Amino acid sequence: MTENPFAIELTDVTKRYADTLATDSISFRVKETEFFGLLGPNGAGKTTTINMMASILKPTEGEYTDFGD
């Protein structure tokens, strides 16, 4: 079994609220030794993305893993 080198990995994560698209196909990877930040204007989906990463919200599509889980 190989160890996943990424602490955080989002792959094509999308979140919809009825007819409103909150995030669209977000993908990024963060290694365990890296820092990252989410930047963008109001309404860009930053809070929605963090809430999906914290398992507060479930993505409509795509996949999120942390520490290989």
User: In the CATH scheme, what architecture does the domain 6-66 have?
Assistant: 3-Layer(aba) Sandwich (3.40)
Is the CB of residue 9 less than 8 Å from the CB of residue 53? no
pLDDT of residue 67: 83
pLDDT at residue 66 in the model: 87
Note down pLDDT in tens along the chain; length 69 residues.
457 688 999 999 999 999 999 999 999 999 988 999 999 999 999 999 999 999 999 999 999 998 866
Instruction: Give the pLDDT confidence score for residue 59 in this predicted structure.
Output: 95
* Residue from 27, 28, 26, 30 nearest 7 by CA: 30
Instruction: Output the pLDDT for position 44.
Output: 92
